[in-house]
Chain A
Amino acid sequence: MPESFDRGALTEAVYYVLLSLFEPNHGYGIMQKIEEMSGGRVKLGAGTLYGALNTLCSKKWIKPLNEFSGGRKKEYVITEFGKQAVYDEIKRLKELAENGDKIVGGMDHE
């Protein structure tokens, strides 16, 4: 259970991995895409990324494309379950952001 799901919310690593797999991608591509999406803020470590991929596979949220081609360039893609999890998470995040905006939105923060 390298990335926990018991809090309901997805971890940042899991959320970004799911997002990066709406198109088939391999380990290196996933890492690059996440770094790009987050403007260099999120760089996933080897253990974290490998753990997230394995956990997501066992939860059937993603699936390997070329099962028999072995490790190096193994490609993954998101499944319907995975997409549903992402939609739910976006809804949750939107609620968080909207409520935050309602309270402090008018203020000039930062």
Chain B
Amino acid sequence: MNDKYEYKKIFGDLESEESWLTEMSEKGFVLKDVSGAFLKYKYSFEPCDKKYVYRVDYNNEMPVMEEITSPYVMFVTGTYGAEYVMCRQGKVYFRKAADEGDFPPVYTSPESRLAAEKKKLLQDVVFFILFFADIFWTIDLDGLAMYLALRSKLFFVKIAAALICVVCAAVCVRGAYIHCKKIREIKCLMK
């Protein structure tokens, strides 16, 4: 029965994720966990009678903090009376019971929304560069040539690793594309 409460989804921006989570809560399901990687994330839910409003933000704390003690998390819970749900995939999730009053959107000015998107894009690009620098550093070409010659099973392992790299690259590029699109969208709004 458990798989009934799992959804695989990917969102273009924070706002659509927020409204989907809030919608799910209205239907009687609260978010339990977000897992998975690559192109689709798995959202698991559990039944709950209480209705919540969800807000999602990028986890911009450097270094990336997972704990509830991050200054930003403390600020949001303290200032807005919201509840910290979790940090997953570079995003931080908050919720507030719908009957406990207003929980305004995370970014209420286009300037701050734009800044957040730009910061996230920069972070992703840095991550992307570090990731590939690491990969190329570790692949040893002599070894690869030897595997080619021997056609051992390890060769296929390397090929698989290379394929995974390509997929990762695609994911990174897609992420960057989404952020760029969003940045353009907000800039249009500001004109």
Contacts and interface: CB of A to CB of B under 8 A. Distances in A.
Bind each other: yes
A70 interface: yes
A4 B81 CA distance: 28
A43 B75 contact: no
Contact of B112 (A31, A51, A71, A73): A51
A47 B57 contact: yes
A46 B111 contact: no
Contacts of B105: 45
A13 interface: yes
Interface in A19-47: 26-28, 31, 42-47
A99 interface: no
Interface in B91-119: 94, 102, 104-109, 111-113, 115-116
Given A43-B102, A46-B55, A12 B78 contact: no
A12 B79 contact: no
Interface residues of B, number: 25
A47 to B, nearest CB: 4
B115 A3 contact: yes
Interface string B42-85: 00000000000001010000000000000110111111101000
A73 B71 CA distance: 11
Interface residues of A, number: 27
Contact of A3 (B72, B74, B102, B112): B112
A43 B108 contact: yes
A43 to B, nearest CB: 4
A91 B28 CA distance: 52
B76 A50 contact: yes
Interface in A57-105: 70-74
B108 A51 contact: no
Given A2-B116, A46-B55, A73 B78 contact: yes
Given A43-B102, A45-B105, A46-B55, A11 B76 contact: no
B109 A11 contact: yes
A107 interface: no
Contact of B80 (A2, A4, A46): A46
A12 B109 contact: yes
Interface of B: 55, 57, 71-72, 74-80, 82, 94, 102, 104-109, 111-113, 115-116
Given A46-B94, A48-B106, A48-B107, 5 more contacts: A13-B108, A43-B102, A46-B104, A72-B77, A74-B75
